Amino acid sequence: MATGEPYHACARPFAYTGHPERGVSYWDWSMEPVKDGEGRVKMVVLSLHDVTAQVRARMEVYASEERYRSLFNSMTEGFALHEIVTDESGKPVDYRFLDVNPAFEKLTGLQREEVVGKTMYEVLPGNDPSWVDIYSTVALTGERIQFEKYSEALDRYLEISAYCPEPNRFASIFIDITKRRKVEKELLRHRKQLEELVMARTAELEERNKKLRAEILERRKAEDEKKKIEAQLLQAQKMEALGRFAGGIAHDLNNVLYPVIINTEMLLEDTEPDTSHHELLRQTLFAAHRQRDLIQKILSFSRLSGENFSPIRVSPLFEETIGFLRS
């Protein structure tokens, strides 16, 4: 009132004395002086407008932005916000860096002032066009994707999560997995070497097993042949013993038979041919000759060598010999 000038105040805080539970409210003040004809202030028109809700909303936004900025700057993952660049026909051909965090700089080696406001091809000339294809799909469809990809321009393997915060834009959060990929590659190389070694060793063992089976089969054949030879030798020994036994009997029979033949021949010479005694002597001599032939066969059998032994039926020889002895 002293100056006679209007007064305006925006979002002026006001606390209710005696009612702390109501908190602090915010008001826009406006005081307009009303003057008389001589220019003196006669009254003041005061208007108040409660802007507490708007002020608190701005404060929350500011706090949220501060939290976002704090997270943005402290996160260990690289973060970048981009917008898609299209040609005259609306086809995505590039994308522009709008903001990056400190982790982006650390992981890529690119400084914020070098990339913000520039396109991908301006920052990384000759970069793989597939990056534009992947990110444009996210920005234009709103689809969230996660993938791993090698960047030739950065010479790094990256694990990336991309999403669309608003139309025609996309944000990417990524980590460097180059070391992990190298370890995986090295493990894969060692695995292949181990598989090759196992395969070679397996082939070697199979070859050895094959030779071992052949040796076992050969030994079995040799053992069978040995048993066969031993059986033949045993049979030969039996035949040799039988031959010696038969030879002894034959000699004994021969010693007995020769006097019989000689005496019978002498009696035949002294006996008349037409007599019954002559016929009996002739039959006796015939039988003696047969026995002599039989004894010769037995002697021949006893003289056979072991190498020429072969199975024969000796029972007829013994039967004839026994029949002769009984007569």
Q: Which residues contact residue 235 at a Cβ distance below 8 angstroms, ignoring those fewer than 6 apart?
A: 309
- Is residue 198 within 8 A of residue 176, CB to CB? The reply is no
Q: What is the pLDDT along the chain (327 residues), one digit of tens a residue?
A: 566 678 777 877 777 777 777 777 878 878 888 877 777 877 878 888 888 788 777 777 666 666 767 777 888 899 999 999 999 999 999 999 999 999 999 999 999 999 999 999 999 998 999 999 999 999 999 999 999 999 999 999 999 999 999 999 999 999 999 999 899 999 999 999 999 888 888 888 888 889 999 999 999 999 999 999 988 888 888 878 877 887 788 778 778 777 888 888 888 888 888 888 888 888 888 888 888 888 788 777 666 544 444 555 555 555 655 555 455
3-state secondary structure of 80: strand
d(CA 95, CA 88): 15
Task: Kindly state the tokens that stand for 250.
Answer: 């034959």
- Is residue 181 within 8 A of residue 152, CB to CB? The reply is no
pLDDT at 89: 92
- Is residue 111 within 8 A of residue 80, CB to CB? The reply is no
Closest CA to 45 of 35, 58, 59: 35
pLDDT at 92: 95
pLDDT at 307: 45
d(CA 93, CA 127): 12
Place of tokens 């030969």: 236
Our CA dihedral for 113, 117, 120, 124, rounded to 10 degrees, sits at -30
- Is residue 162 within 8 A of residue 197, CB to CB? The reply is no
d(CA 184, CA 189): 9
pLDDT at 93: 96
Partnered with residue 15 across adjacent β-strands are 24
CA distances from 115 to 80, 96, 189 (A): 10, 8, 38
d(CA 303, CA 105): 112
For helices 178-270 and 315-326, the axis angle rounded to 10 degrees is: 20
With a threshold of 0.75, does the pTM exceed it? Answer: no
Partnered with residue 31 across adjacent β-strands are 7, 46
pLDDT at 200: 87
